[in-house]
Amino acid sequence: MQIIKIGKDDSNDIYKDFKNDFTVSNFHCQIFVDDEGNKFLTDLDSTNGTFVNGNKISTPVQLGSLDIIRAGNSLVKWKEYLMDETMANTSLPDNNSDNKFIKNYWWLIIVVILVALVLFSLIIDFNRGSDNISPTFEEYPQQMKKDNGITPQTIDENTEVVRHNTPETGYLPYKDVYGTGDFDSENKVIIENRQDSHAVVVLYTHNGIPKRHVFVRKFETFTMEKVPYGKYYLRWSSGNDWSPDVKVGPLKGGFQTDQDSDRGEIFGSLEADGSRSRYEWTQVLE
């Protein structure tokens, strides 16, 4: 049995990455590991919440090997901590052990390390750590061209456009990757799509972590509510003839024609003199 404490206070097991993040509480959350190796995450009544795969938790949640934990605005490197603990507590077989056992023991360590590297590689491909997200919307048109024979502006003459119903404004096409963005705040980001094409808009933190995303039909407006305090920028991909079957990297769903991408402005929404105020930011897509 083991308890891993997480927060800004240096008495926690995991704390070094949170020193400059005001959204992380001193004693934010903890992971309980039972005698069978099962891991359970509990939020400790933190101010800005604990999230698993982008979803805010209110009760203990059992963790899987691919789950991503975020405390406030910071990613929690819990798998790295557990791996470090395992390696620190691993001792070599004594000199009297059978040579065959020693050989098998080291092969087991190598297999465990390789599996861990593969898992971390998959997580990075899906989320690009705390600094990026894969794929970026700047890469979106090129990835579409590579995967589906579609150019950024037109569809190849040999590729048939499959007609689907256009999603309503407010639809979350990538919630399996980006989450639903359920946060506790009064801040708002207003998206006005004045383009002659639909758009998928993603709101990123300044270091590349996605907070919200949404589908906005052409000539319509959508308001992202409950946006946490922080610095953000918008990226969006525009186009027509939406298809839920188009695959873009790890994302499923994309435009078949008139594709284009852009990047919005960075904006600030910070505390002043210890008091919180509601902020609104309006971004026009045109």
Question: Domains, the chain, ranges and CATH?
Answer: 2-83 (2.60.200.20), 140-285 (no CATH)
Q: Is the pTM of this model over 0.85?
A: no
DSSP class of residue 185 equals -
Structure tokens at 2: 């083991």
Region 147-169: mean pLDDT is 61
The closest alpha carbon to 37, from 62, 58, 59, belongs to 62
Tens of pLDDT, residues 67-101: 999 999 999 999 988 887 766 665 444 555 555 55
Task: Name the residue type at position 55.
Answer: N
Cα of 239 vs its chain's centroid, Å: 24
DSSP string, 140-157: HHHHHHHHHSB-SSSB-T
Whole-number Å distance between alpha carbons of 69 and 175: 16
Describe the crossing of helices 99-127 and 78-88 by its angle, rounded to 10 degrees.
170
* Among 70-84, 101-115, 232-246, 256-270, the least confident range: 256-270
Mean pLDDT, residues 15-39: 93
Any bridge partners for residue 76, and if so which? 69
Amino acid at 180: T
pLDDT of 215 higher than 80 = yes
Residue with tokens 């991503």: 68
SS (H, E, C) 57-107: CCCCEECCCCCCEEECCEEECHHHHHHHHHHHCCCCCCCCCCHHHHHHHHH
pLDDT band at 235 (very low <50, low <70, confident <90, very high): confident
Residues forming beta bridges with residue 50, ordered by sequence position: 71
> Average pLDDT of the chain?
77
